[in-house]
Amino acid sequence: MRILIGSDHGGFDLKKAIKAHLEEQGHSIEDYGSRDKQSCDYNDVAKTLAEDIAKGKAPRGILICGTGIGMSIQANKVKGVRAAHVHDVYSAKATRLHNDSNILTMGGRVVGPEHAKVIVDTWLETEFSAEERHVRRVKKIEG
């Protein structure tokens, strides 16, 4: 799968770990930065990646900042994006099943790398439920 990934300085280390993990699995990864731990604005990375997800450049994206909250807020401002802020496996599965999330956000200062890999794997492996109630709700989100 083609996956877009991005972080700010607070999510840099976790992004590197997840990127390596996904590449080992054979996924094609496009890195939107940051390229190091120098302070940068998460907004710029989140907006650019979210716009590319909305345009169909890739089916899924992952954004990581210190908490994951700022990335989620910024990404969700882009029409067509359903960014889910997740720190546990149950939520990762539920947001794919029920909300058809196309961007996962996490906190590099909140989630450890091994747990994050399980979250990412669960999120990527879970398909959206085609149940009418979930389809109806996602259509309401899309407006």
Q: Point out the residues that are catalytic.
A: 65, 98
80: left (phi over 0), alpha (psi -120 to 50) or beta: left
23: left (phi over 0), alpha (psi -120 to 50) or beta: alpha
CA end-to-end distance (rounded Å), the chain: 28
DSSP per residue over 64-78, as a string?
A: EESSSHHHHHHHTTS
